[in-house]
Structure 1
Amino acid sequence: MPFMRVTVPSNVSAQSNAALAKDLTNFSVTTLRKPREMTTVTFVRVEPSEYFIGGEAVEPGPGIHLEVSLTTGTNSADERKRFIKEVSESIVRIYGPNATLRGVALTEYLPESYGYEGITRYERSHR
């Protein structure tokens, strides 16, 4: 039941964001072994004048940050490592060589503290 929040400068195209959303969903299914129908990707668009890395506005290419919410213990260190590598390669392919991945945060929540459509992950695993 991953929830993915991608922060991007607002000057990147919606088409590029859609391509990344498709890749992230596919990586979620193939690498993290998550159900496609429970994978959510959303974008937070930030004006370039409000997006800073190292104290400088992000120019010329987009700086991108990804936060992913996962259930604790559902993925190995190797799966998480592969996911981060796939995301990095996808960003360069989609947004171009000036794009920079500034971080991927895989945050894990306890099964009884994380739910989807009103049902916790713990409840789902005990059905």
Structure 2
Amino acid sequence: MPYIRATITDPDLPTTTQRTLAERLTALAVTALGKSGARTIVHIDMVPPARYYVAGKPLTGGLDAHVEVSITLGTNSAEEKAAFIAGANELLTNALGPLTRGGVALHELPLESYGYNGETQFAYYRRT
């Protein structure tokens, strides 16, 4: 049940590009991480470059994106996580063009600290 948040320094990102990113990030979660597409959430957060800082200074003269993914601890191998990170970077670059930094972070949360529809992942995995 990944929750994927993509922060992009373009407040005017076209809806078609947003949809494409959401669809492809979901597909990547399925193929690289083995997650359920039906349980994957993608949140696109578009921010003005003046509110996005690199080296303590507002971003100027470029575009950047950062993807953060919450997944359940211990459900993916190092190779799967590396494949997701590389794939997400390629996806962002293909969809948005050259990026200033382009970051991807996977946050692994313990089974009992992460849930969906009011049920912890611990309870979900026990039940299925």
| TM-score scaled by length of structure 2 | 0.90
State the partner residue of 1:106.
106
Paired-residue identity, %? 38
Deviation at 1:43? 1.4
State the partner residue of 1:91.
92
- For residues 55 and 114 of structure 1, the distance between their equivalents in structure 2, rounded to whole angstroms, comes to 32
The residue matched to 2:19 in structure 1 has which SS? helix
State the partner residue of 1:18.
19
| TM-score scaled by length of structure 1 | 0.90
Asked whether the 8 Å contact 1:8–1:63 carries over to 2, the reply is: yes
- For residues 115 and 56 of structure 2, the distance between their equivalents in structure 1, rounded to whole angstroms, comes to 37
- For residues 48 and 65 of structure 1, the distance between their equivalents in structure 2, rounded to whole angstroms, comes to 13
Asked whether the 8 Å contact 1:5–1:44 carries over to 2, the reply is: yes
Q: Say if 2:70 is the partner of 1:50.
A: no
Q: Which has the higher strand share?
A: 1
Unaligned runs of 5+ in 1: none
Asked whether the 8 Å contact 2:89–2:102 carries over to 1, the reply is: no
Asked whether the 8 Å contact 1:12–1:62 carries over to 2, the reply is: no
- For residues 14 and 58 of structure 2, the distance between their equivalents in structure 1, rounded to whole angstroms, comes to 18
Deviation at 1:55? 3.5
Output aligned runs, 1:73-84, within 5 Å: 73-84=74-85
- For residues 15 and 120 of structure 1, the distance between their equivalents in structure 2, rounded to whole angstroms, comes to 34
The residue matched to 1:122 in structure 2 has which SS? helix
**2:67 is aligned with what amino acid?**
L
Aligned residues: 126
The residue matched to 1:66 in structure 2 has which SS? strand
The residue matched to 1:81 in structure 2 has which SS? helix
